[in-house]
Amino acid sequence: MAICDMCGNEYPRAMTITIGTDPHSGGVFDSFECAIAALAPHCGHCRCRILGHGLESGNDIFCCAHCAREAGHRGLVDHIGAADGGSGRWRVFDDRHAESVD
């Protein structure tokens, strides 16, 4: 049985998470809770764990447009993928307003 890198619990169905192609990144975890506690980044403003894409500006990452604005970042671009054939890039103005930058 594997042992969780976060809590030390021995668990028969533990999961191994690798970040990118580096086999030494990530770790072994017995739950998503432990994996999130170990790996998910913190918002640069409110310090919550970011479980989704987040918004990035330079080396800063934020959970939402509100936190990005509060930290002085405006007009962030979120790279969310393009189901419609566009670039998938969106400029976020506030919590409710965004536009495609295709």
Q: State pLDDT tens for residues 16-33.
A: 999 888 888 899 999 999
d(CA 95, CA 99): 12
Confidence band for 94, pLDDT divided at 50, 70 and 90: low
Residue with tokens 């919550």: 48
Among residues 52, 71, 74, 73, the alpha carbon closest in space to that of 63 is found at 52
- pTM beyond 0.85, yes or no: no
In this structure, what is the dihedral angle of CA atoms 57, 46, 18, 88, given to the nearest 10 degrees?
-40
d(CA 78, CA 80): 6
